[in-house]
Structure 1
Amino acid sequence: MKQFPKSQSAFRRSDLLGGGVRSHHDQVARTIGTEILSGTLPPGTKLGEAEVLARFEISRTVLREAMKTLKAKGFIAAKPRVGTTVLDNSHWNYFDADVLAWKIDQGLDFGFLSDLAEVRIAIGSAAARAAAVRRSAADIAEMRAHLNAMRAAGDDVAAFGEADLAFRKTVARASGNALMGSLSGVIETTLAASFQMQRPQGDAARKADLRAHTELTDAIEGGDGERAARAMRNIVGEALARGGTPGGKITARA
């Protein structure tokens, strides 16, 4: 069973990722979590208390909080007389906002990107179908306000993206399904926060994207669930075709 790295270089405080207002135990959890995601700490690796304390120069209180965070995310398991061990990816909670953000920040392989695309399409189309049944007049007004903001954004990619994200979150909320809305919100917000997704470039592409969003809004307002689901699938599919990935950091699956 592999042991936690003991090389002197592994114990530097500079290994702590992030910063700013992020708490110390959050930084430790992020660093170890990222190493688990990347395979630097493969399944079965033992995380010895003494080694972790020495590496990060932290107190046992910080260590306990960091381990609690990693356990909640499905990265590790702790057992009496066995210790703390890294788990394989079948246990990882990819719908945890931190886990998803850490994975995206590392660069996506084609396999994970494909999995994420399938989930986005499934949840998005289901939310659109439900929204066509449960939407309120206020929901429709909000969608159209976000559409207007997308039109007004013009060449401002950031403004377009913010309005698009707000539009998608409104559709998810209009579905009336709290779980669906939560899952969709985590995925879309994390994607937007982790990298600037590819937005339609050029006037013709932007107009086509706006037409697609208008089609979705019209379908939801008209109560046509199948039309709404189809429109959402088309929107997500077009975004993926444009290469909506983190700065082009897509790596081939090993």
Structure 2
Amino acid sequence: MTGLLRALAPEAASRTSHAHVVASLGRQIVSGYFPPGTILPGDKDLGERFGVSRTVLREAMKTLAAKRLIEAKTRVGTKVLEPERWNLLDSDVLRWRVETGLDKGFIEDLAAMRLAFEPEAAALAARRATAEDIARLHAIVDELGDLGHDRASIAYVDLDFHIAIADTSRNPFMRATSGLIEAALSIALRLSSPADNPELITDLAKSHRRIVDAIESGDEDNARRAMRDVIELGATRTQQALGKE
């Protein structure tokens, strides 16, 4: 189970003290409990709070700094950075952002990022796909159309499809955007899902099949267009569900 989608399932305890500190402080920073510009408590206070050694705490702070959530300054302390500086391509940061609240702007920005990458990945896939790639994509679409899906299972299969497109593009930068795709699907899982309606499952499979058909025929323009349609429709449904909430 992948990170962002796992966030919507019952959460297991962190496996290590380091992971527990990172996750706890990360969520508190992203949620605004520690607002931008805040100087975090010192090592002694945080160590006592989490019951960890100074070594574990310092390693956790290094991890959060690498995610661009905090910055340590000599004689000042560890400052919480502005959201504009956070590394939202980091899967943990993106997951915490999804967990701590959704808004129209965030959903629109996420869709815009996907539209910048995924249609081009589909076009590259149309140019570079092998027979084995096409077989893989058809198999995933067949699985996507299974009417027995629940919200979680259909999201996992949908994610597999988009990752397979990125793989087929043979462009490693496309594969690196999988966290954005997972974020969008985790939001859809939370707010709305085709699994709630058999007709929507069928429509979802058909729309993804159009992408595969275009890739199989080597039609880059139609592959690009079909992918754009899938992303835009998903974003629209998510916005509508958010409005109802």
- TM-score, normalised relative to structure 1: 0.82
Higher deviation after alignment, 158-167 or 126-135 = 158-167
Kept in 1: contact 2:144–2:201 (CA 8 A): no
Q: How does 1:113-124 map to 2 (within 5 A)?
A: 113-124=107-118
**Which of 230, 247, 252 is equivalent to 2:225?**
230
| Cα shift readout 1:157-214 (whole Å, capped 9, x = no counterpart) | 243333222111111111111111121x222335556772533243433332222111
Give the secondary-structure state (helix, strand or coil) at the position aligned to 1:28. Answer: helix
Aligned length: 231
Distance 2:20 2:118 in 1: 32
Deviation at 1:20, TM superposition (A): 2.9
Kept in 2: contact 1:108–1:251 (CA 8 A): no
Q: Which residue of 2 aligns with 1:31?
A: 24
RMSD: 2.4
Matched, 1:62 2:68: no
Distance 1:113 1:217 in 2: 26
Q: How does 1:1-254 map to 2 (within 5 A)?
A: 19-47=12-40, 48-151=42-145, 153-157=146-150, 158-183=152-177, 185-192=178-185, 196=189, 198-200=192-194, 201-243=196-238
Distance 1:162 1:19 in 2: 19
Deviation at 1:29, TM superposition (A): 1.4
Gap regions ≥5 residues in structure 2: 1-10
Kept in 2: contact 1:150–1:210 (CA 8 A): yes
Point out which structure has higher relative CO (alpha carbons under 8 A, 6+ apart): 2
Counterpart amino acid of residue 30 in structure 1? A
Give the secondary-structure state (helix, strand or coil) at the position aligned to 2:13. Answer: coil
Deviation at 1:251, TM superposition (A): 11
Distance 2:118 2:25 in 1: 32
Kept in 2: contact 1:154–1:160 (CA 8 A): no
Distance 1:159 1:82 in 2: 48
Kept in 2: contact 1:215–1:231 (CA 8 A): yes
Deviation at 1:49, TM superposition (A): 2.0
Counterpart amino acid of residue 149 in structure 2? D
Distance 2:193 2:77 in 1: 47
Give the secondary-structure state (helix, strand or coil) at the position aligned to 1:41. Answer: coil
Distance 2:18 2:189 in 1: 28
Distance 2:15 2:242 in 1: 25
Kept in 2: contact 1:93–1:99 (CA 8 A): yes
Query: Do the aligned partners of residues 251 and 211 (structure 1) sit closer, same or farther apart at CA in structure 2, a change above 3 Å counting?
Result: closer
Give the secondary-structure state (helix, strand or coil) at the position aligned to 2:89. Answer: coil
Query: Do the aligned partners of residues 56 and 160 (structure 1) sit closer, same or farther apart at CA in structure 2, a change above 3 Å counting?
Result: closer
Gap regions ≥5 residues in structure 1: 1-17
Distance 1:119 1:129 in 2: 16
| Cα shift readout 1:13-46 (whole Å, capped 9, x = no counterpart) | xxxxx65352112111111111211222112211
Kept in 1: contact 2:140–2:160 (CA 8 A): yes
